[in-house]
Amino acid sequence: MASPVKSNPDWWRGAVIYQVYPRSFQDTTGDGLGDLNGVTERLPYISSLGVDAIWLSPFFTSPMADMGYDVSDYCDVDPIFGTLRDFDALMKKAHDLGLKVIIDQVISHTSDQHPWFKESRSSRTNDKADWYVWADPKPDGTAPNNWLSIFGGPAWEWDGVRKQYYMHNFLGSQPDLNFHNPDVQDALLKTVRFWLERGVDGFRLDTVNFYFHDKELRDNPPLVHDEDAIGLDAPDVNPYGMQNHLYDKTQPENIGFLQRFRALLDEFGERASVGEVGDGARSLKTVAAYTSGGDKLHMCYTFDLLGPDFTATHIRRCVTAFQNAVTDGWVCWAFSNHDVTRHVSRFIEKDDERERVAKLAISVLATLRGSICLYQGEELSLPEADLAFEDLRDPYGIRFWPSFKGRDGCRTPMPWEAKAENAGFSKVKPWLPVPDVHTALAADVQEKADGSVLAHYRETLAFRKQHPALRDGSMRFIETNQDILAFTREKDGERLLFVFNLRRGPQSVQLPKDLKIAEVLPMPGFEARLDGWDIELDALDVFCGKLQN
């Protein structure tokens, strides 16, 4: 399954990754659920965007209590998605198109239907008795400590067979593996090797800082809120965010496991790993630890840009904090994914600016230093779907309704054809409804429209590829006394200046005297102007220029 692309061990550095949520991408079997053959069918579309890789959300065998993030067999495809043969066909087609394939590895926990857990819970003396996090109750029968589940309630579930509690950071049907047991690590790395031998190019590691727990099971202290802290653990309706999670995740032993994981990847060459770090205000410190030294993860992403703040101050603050904290690591930036409200809905102030904000957002993302991750449908400027309670499938949203509606609003099916049934996703009722507003933004409509958001994504990603400085060049912010995002990107003698006006009114920005524009580079979709030393920007506008050396 060799790729025709020129060999490049650092292909991941500065790469553009397109996240596919297979359940919602394309149904080819007529069951209302997307599948691997549907992804394969749509790979030419993904390739046409100009991305470097795809990230596939979980497709492993699972009872689907958490839409595949509860795995019952790490080495097989769930029948709703197809077969291993279908996966192999997807890999071949992707590689033929020059696309790398990253798969979602969910190893902090399994499903309670996994054979490992079934054996573990059967007694306290079986061969896998210590493969999960088991603990005796307190004398009064209550849970061992105060740890909470992200999905609500205690992080402990009572098991009547063993007469012990087991730990679960998420659903009660998602028991946490005990990484302190080296046999668990060995078994998990064996499943990783299975996919490496099948040709995958990399892994996205779900909840990568959740692998280890404190052996002493110490209580988490309350969180002392810092208004200047970056990063969120949970929506404010969830008491999980009231604790400082010192002991239920982000333990020092994780470093050693990540080094074992990286050593395995390095055996195969040109493989990459990206970790999801959910660690509140400590996220950047954790990213620095997990990506430094060239012997752990290749890159990480955090939740810093996945909130509602789309301002120059916030973006500059996040990027500066990363650059200060992570000196020899790498970051993957994103505005959207399958767990958060779609970013055009988070960022817009009124409906008629959706298209403008969508174009501006990808222009910002494509010029930041780091790799970037796009989530399916954002290239169509899809807003968050407003679903009725009876349509929800996400246990997180069902648990906290109506104050938090969960993640289904960003997981609705891709709209391919405006005039087709269910927007071309499926010929039968899909697992989640396709909103009318999404149908109107279908891919076939935007393919034919000049100046569409889809066209803008292609033009912007092409612009990024034309300038190596945007892939892995240095980045330096320009200080101004205005609410402006301004920075330079530089590599091999090319210096580019970017100025973003994220405000809803025009601004005029005077360049520092030591910066001289050699050439104005039109940014796709924007018309900022240079007037002497002044840059004239409309509302939600971008300027780009090549600087004299």
The residues carrying an active-site annotation are: 206, 267
The candidate with the shortest Cα–Cα distance to 264, out of 181, 177, 202, is 202
> Tokens 């973003």 map to which residue?
500
- The backbone torsions φ and ψ at residue 240, rounded to the nearest 5 degrees and listed phi first, read -50, -35
Cβ burial of 138 (10 Å; 0-12, 13-18, 19+) is exposed
> CA 161, CA 493: separation in Å to the nearest integer?
68
**E strands of 310-386, at which residues?**
332-333, 371-375
Residue carrying structure tokens 């029968």: 141
Please spell the DSSP secondary structure of 132-183, one letter per residue.
Answer: B-EEPPPTTS--SS--B-TTSSBSEEEETTTTEEEE-SS-TTSPBB-TTSHH
Residue (of 166, 120, 158, 121) closest to 141 by Cα position: 158
Integer Cα distance of 455 and 443 in angstroms: 10
CA neighbor of 330 nearest in space, from 304, 303, 293, 363: 293
| Nearest Cα to Cα of residue 303 among 272, 253, 329, 341 | 341
Q: What are phi and psi of 449, to 5 degrees?
A: -100, 125
Looking at the chain, how many residues does it have? 549
> Which residue from 344, 356, 335 is spatially nearest to 382, judged by alpha carbons?
344
Strand (E) or helix (H) holding 465? helix 453-466
Evaluate whether 111 touches 20 at the Cβ level (below 8 Å). no
Distance of CA 388 to the CA centre of its chain: 26
- Cα(250)–Cα(255) distance, rounded to whole angstroms? 9
Q: With contact defined as beta carbons under 8 Å apart, do 367 and 469 qualify? A: no
**Nearest of 58, 48, 52, 49 to residue 20 by alpha carbon:** 58
Please state, in angstroms and rounded to a whole number, the distance separating the CA atoms of residues 59 and 79. 9
Position 492: which residue type?
Answer: D
